[in-house]
Amino acid sequence: MITAALQEREHYLNASYGIKSWLLTKDHKRIGLLYLATITLFFFLGGAFATLIRIELLTPQGDLVSSETYNKLFTMHGVAMVFFFLIPAIPATLGNFFLPLMIGARDLAFPRINLLSWYLLVIGGLLSLYAMLAGGVDTGWTFYTPYSTSYSNTWVIATALGIFVAGFSSILTGLNFIVTVHRMRAPGMTWFRLPLFVWSTYATSVIQVLGTPVLAVTIILLFCERVFHLGIFDPTRGGDPVLFQHLFWFYSHPAVYIMVLPAMGVISELVSVYSRKPVFGYHFVAFASVAIAVLGFLVWGHHLFVSTQSLYAGLVFSFLSYFVAIPSAIKVFNWTATLYKGSISYDTPMLYAFGFIGLFTIGGLTGLFVAALGFDVHVTDTYFVVAHFHYIMVGGTIMAYLGGLHYWWPKMTGRMYPEGWAKLSALVIFLGFNLTFFPQFVLGYLGMPRRYHVYPPEFQVLHVLSTAGASVLAVGYVIPMIYFIWSLRYGKVAGANPWGATGLEWKTASPPPAHNFDETPIVTHEAYDYRAVMGEVEVG
């Protein structure tokens, strides 16, 4: 009977049908799903490259692929994962879908621009994909000059243009979110009643808007140098390749926070819901997001410690880098304090949240190691760095992304995912992740350089461990893929608020109607006020 009622009620998925109703949609929820499909493709593409890398590294000799092919593999792994998965992952899918719902708006401020930004990501993605299929690119995802401008004979231009176009997608999403949060909040939704996911997504948008244009102009200059033979970064004409690195990392370091800030927002939501307590120190967590966004722009030089960057700049950047630890630690401590005396339930999203907190802490603390000028000189370009940023990006961002996807899945689809399988896959992912990347800390500390496909035999044990972990991790990622699709048809029907959560997104039906709310909600209490939902919790 419930199923029948669900099918009769009009919601955003059955409001209209046909391929055109998706490709020309202005509904932020449908655009969120378009993003979800797009980035999932790129995730598995990037994963395929990673698989080949790990298989190659099973043996000390370069026996599976040539060194040229290996260079292309790690480059394309980085490009696909960073620019076409991690950057859009949480903001463009979960953010697109839930930001308007969470602030009680009917849509984003500029729905057409929102659709445009999806198309830009697709066009950028296709350009880069074309480059990958045509022969690949081997510069590393960082495109350092002069190799990328003068020497590489691979598809640098197409890849770089793809990233340029995708950058505009990112800028427009950020712009849209900022205007939406400023101008579209429901009556009574003051800044300090906003869910923390909105705060962190807002801070992320600020980074996207301020950082991405610098990447855009850097890519343009790279393009002009390769195509029109301008000499901006050419050392033979007095140009400075390190200047390219400054410009590149001015965007790409803050880009790390584009990836991890929204993840932190998701964790704030999860930790609160599954311990049924308001987030401890709401204001501190909110301002920590803004602080990370600002501080993130002051530290990029720590990527240049072993370049010709001046020692004084190295000192300044090393010193400033430590400050990022403060707001990050505030968040971790406040999540932990939220758990204290909470009524904790171990649903799948909460398992991912626990995974995030632990892994992000390891990633963050090793970040302090590599921020230290003296230590970094020792481990630069080793697997220590590789392990560090995978703990942040895979252990942090992807954990939170999956946690958020499970948490909001019933709202997005109206169906529950199978809890047993989900718990199992969360566990498999956690174990597989650690087995993959923890040995890489050791490898790096022992001196294994990154981006090499042959290595001394004494490193083989650790590499085999890592590859074994990667296999486990791959299985862990495929399981949710299967049961999510399965749940679309066979999942238990979810009520409007299966978790007993407080956000406005849970006040409307699952899946939400095309205009989000039947009547504009009026907000009368702070975020995470569980007294307010006591009466209305339904049994899913």
Partner 1 sequence: MASEGRAETLALREQFDTEEQQKDASTLGMWIFLITEIMFFGGLFLVYIVYRSANAGVFAVASSSLKVYVGAANTVVLLCSSLTMVLAVRGAQLGERKTIVLFLILTLILGGVFLGVKAYEWNEKFQEHHVPGAAFHFEGLPPELQGRAQLFFSLYFAMTGLHAMHMVIGVGILSVLIWQARKGTYSAAYMTPVDVSGLYWHFVDIIWIFLFPLLYLIDRHLGK
Partner 2 sequence: MTEHIDRVRTYVLVFAVLIALTVLTTAVAFVDLGPFSVVVALAIAVCKMLLVALFFMHMRHSTRLTRLVVLGGLLWLIILILLSLTDFATRTWVGVPGR
Which one among 53, 87, 132, 214 touches partner 2, defined by CB under 8 A? 214
Question: One symbol per residue from 316 to 335: x for binding partner 2 (CB under 8 A), - otherwise; what is it?
Answer: xx------------------
The reply to whether 297 sits near partner 2 by the rule CB under 8 A is yes
User: Does residue 501 come out as left (phi exceeding 0), alpha (psi in the -120 to 50 range) or beta?
Assistant: beta
For partner 2, give the closer residue by CB, 129 or 371.
371
526 binds, among partner 1, partner 2, none (CB under 5 to 8 A by kind): none
Which one among 15, 41, 157, 242 touches partner 2, defined by CB under 8 A? 242
437 binds, among partner 2, partner 1, none (CB under 5 to 8 A by kind): none
Please give the single-letter amino acid code of residue 220: I
For partner 2, give the closer residue by CB, 224 or 290.
290
Q: In angstroms, what CA-CA distances link 3 with 158, 199, 305, 536?
A: 48, 36, 60, 21
Q: Which tokens go with 458?
A: 């004494």
Cis peptide before 146 (omega within 30 of 0): yes
The reply to whether 313 sits near partner 2 by the rule CB under 8 A is yes
Written as one string, the DSSP assignment of 499-528 is T---SGGGTS-SSPPTTS-SS-----S-TT
The reply to whether 377 sits near partner 2 by the rule CB under 8 A is no
Residues 172-191 that bind partner 2 (CB under 8 A): 182
Q: Which stretch binds partner 2 (CB under 8 A): 106-114, 186-194, 239-247, 399-407?
A: 239-247
Shortest distance, CB of residue 240 to partner 2, whole angstroms? 8
297 binds, among partner 2, partner 1, none (CB under 5 to 8 A by kind): partner 2
For partner 1, give the closer residue by CB, 58 or 210.
210
The reply to whether 311 sits near partner 2 by the rule CB under 8 A is yes
Q: Which of 282, 260, 540 is nearest to 390 (CA)?
A: 260
Contact 527, 194 (CB under 8 A): yes
In angstroms, the CA 252 to CA 262 distance is 16
Beta bridge partners of residue 449, listed in sequence order? 382
Which one among 16, 69, 150, 309 touches partner 2, defined by CB under 8 A? 309
Contact 400, 352 (CB under 8 A): yes
Contact 39, 89 (CB under 8 A): yes
User: Total residues at the site for partner 2 (CB under 8 A)?
Assistant: 20
Give the dihedral sign, CA 267/166/381/460: positive
Secondary structure (3-state) at 138: coil
Shortest distance, CB of residue 202 to partner 2, whole angstroms? 13
Q: What is the chain's percent helix, strand, coil content, to nearest 5?
A: 70, 0, 25
Shortest distance, CB of residue 369 to partner 2, whole angstroms? 22
Q: Which stretch binds partner 2 (CB under 8 A): 11-19, 313-321, 341-349, 509-517?
A: 313-321
- Torsion angle, CA of 215/218/222/228, rounded to 10 degrees? 130
Shortest distance, CB of residue 30 to partner 1, whole angstroms? 14
In angstroms, the CA 244 to CA 237 distance is 15
Shortest distance, CB of residue 164 to partner 1, whole angstroms? 11
Q: Which stretch binds partner 2 (CB under 8 A): 309-317, 393-401, 413-421, 461-469?
A: 309-317
The reply to whether 296 sits near partner 2 by the rule CB under 8 A is no
Shortest distance, CB of residue 451 to partner 2, whole angstroms? 23
311 binds, among partner 1, partner 2, none (CB under 5 to 8 A by kind): partner 2
For partner 2, give the closer residue by CB, 98 or 297.
297
In angstroms, the CA 237 to CA 108 distance is 48
Contact 166, 117 (CB under 8 A): no
**Buried/exposed code over 136-174 (b: 16+ C-beta within 10 A; e: otherwise):** bbbbbbbbbbbebbeebebbbbbbbbbbbbbbbbbbbbb
The reply to whether 17 sits near partner 2 by the rule CB under 8 A is no
Residues 250-289 that bind partner 2 (CB under 8 A): 250
Q: Which stretch binds partner 2 (CB under 8 A): 94-102, 292-300, 357-365, 407-415?
A: 292-300
Please give the single-letter amino acid code of residue 194: L
Q: Which stretch binds partner 2 (CB under 8 A): 10-18, 29-37, 296-304, 335-343?
A: 296-304
CB atoms within 10 A of CB 66: 11
For partner 1, give the closer residue by CB, 207 or 501.
207
The reply to whether 103 sits near partner 2 by the rule CB under 8 A is no
In angstroms, the CA 156 to CA 131 distance is 8
For partner 2, give the closer residue by CB, 242 or 479.
242
Contact 75, 132 (CB under 8 A): no
Angle, nearest 10°, between helix axes 196-227 and 156-183?
150
In angstroms, the CA 105 to CA 99 distance is 8
Secondary structure (3-state) at 229: coil
Write out the residues near partner 1 by the rule CB under 8 A: 105-111, 113, 171, 175-176, 178-179, 182-184, 209-214, 216-218, 220-221, 224-225, 228-232, 234, 236-240, 243, 246-247, 250, 515, 519-520
184 binds, among partner 2, partner 1, none (CB under 5 to 8 A by kind): partner 1
Q: Which tokens go with 71?
A: 């260079």
495 binds, among partner 1, partner 2, none (CB under 5 to 8 A by kind): none
For partner 2, give the closer residue by CB, 207 or 263.
207
Quick one: how far is CA 375 from the chain centroid?
28
The reply to whether 384 sits near partner 2 by the rule CB under 8 A is no
Interacting residue ranges for partner 2, rule: CB under 8 A? 182, 210, 214, 242-243, 246, 250, 297-298, 300-301, 304, 308-313, 316-317
